[in-house]
A = this chain, B = another copy of it.
Amino acid sequence: MITKKAEYAIIILAELASHPQGEILTSKKIAQNRSIPVNLVVQLLALLKDAGWITGTRGPTGGIKLNIDPSTINLREVIENIDGKIGITRCLFSDTPCQDKTHCSLRAIWVKAQQKMLSVLEDVSIKNLSEIDPSEINRIKD
């Protein structure tokens, strides 16, 4: 399952992207605006920083700033950055080849189902998300 932490990370990036480019936000403010536990925000920001997506400056007047164009980050990337490799089934994490025919066919179906899912997530960027309006949701590629 895609974890809540991954979801939070997406929301955090969307929050940053929803402000004028280069604007600095404190973790506390992000947490307040999006109702996420501050400690979790801090924890997640560390990972987003490692990915090179944000920059933090310390001290008073410090804060977090988006480091790259939010239209170049898609949801799949963010999820994988937080949760690691995505797999809808345990089978998709193992490298050992399948034993029997049916089982092996099943794996191919898992792969296909997962690809369909990931394709949707890849088609949505953080910028998309920060702009999208719930009433417009049908515009998402079908």
Give me the interface of A with B, judged by CB distance under 8 Å.
1-4, 7, 10-11, 14-15, 18, 34-35, 75, 87-91, 99-106, 108-110, 112-114, 116-121, 124, 129-130, 132-134, 137, 140
Among A2, A104, A105, A132: residue with most chain B CB under 10 A: A105
Q: Which residues of B contact A10 (CB under 8 A)?
A: 106
When the two chains form their complex, are residues A7 and B106 in contact, meaning their CB atoms are under 8 A apart? yes
**What would 29 A/B residue contacts be, using CB atoms closer than 8 Å?**
A1-B87, A2-B88, A3-B90, A4-B90, A7-B91, A7-B106, A11-B102, A11-B106, A14-B102, A14-B106, A15-B102, A18-B102, A34-B103, A88-B88, A101-B133, A102-B130, A102-B132, A105-B132, A105-B137, A106-B129, A108-B134, A108-B140, A109-B121, A109-B129, A109-B137, A113-B118, A116-B116, A116-B117, A116-B120
